[in-house]
Amino acid sequence: NNARPVKHTFCAVVIAISAILAFVGSFQFVVASSSAVQKEEIAIATIDNYGDATLSNKNNLDASKETEANYISTKFEVSGKVQGVSFRRYTQAKATELGLMGWCRNTPRGTVEGEYEYEEIEGGAVAASSFQRWLCNVGSPKSRIDECKFEEKEVVSDRPSFDEFVIIR
């Protein structure tokens, strides 16, 4: 059976690419053997900025496009040295890169708070998880992150509440 070696080879390739390109950015590529293409058994692999890989069957992705999307809203607050270090600008850039919509602003408490929405599909959840890790561990180059708080709401609607990710001044 040829499927088993292809599967193992793919896993090794994903691990190698993940390790080498962990900080390049998220990207997708198609994975298929010649016999799989004939049967339309194609998979889409997504690797995010942290090297986390997810594999989705093309047929499952096509089916999810036919269903109505739901959007999840998450509020966040980040404390530490996050004001006066371009934290909001970097946060906006990261959210936009990941396809998230929402807002962020400085607070009188010296923190940065905000809210973002993502589509309740596999790619949206991966983007939200990557964004949370980025907020808690990376931030702007001169920031120091002491604490991150997240409050996820249930499904907020079948349409996004925001058109883009903005900084509120």
Catalytic machinery residues: 88, 106
For residues 104 and 115, give the distance between their C-alpha atoms in angstroms, rounded to a whole number. 7
Sheet holding 112-119, edge to edge: 144-157, 71-81, 112-119, 101-106, 165-167
Residue closest to 98 by CA, chosen among 66, 69, 133: 133
Residue closest to 36 by CA, chosen among 65, 7, 12: 7
For residues 37 and 64, give the distance between their C-alpha atoms in angstroms, rounded to a whole number. 20
**Residue 125 contacts residue 118 (beta carbons within 8 Å):** yes
For residues 90 and 114, give the distance between their C-alpha atoms in angstroms, rounded to a whole number. 13
**Residue 137 contacts residue 145 (beta carbons within 8 Å):** yes
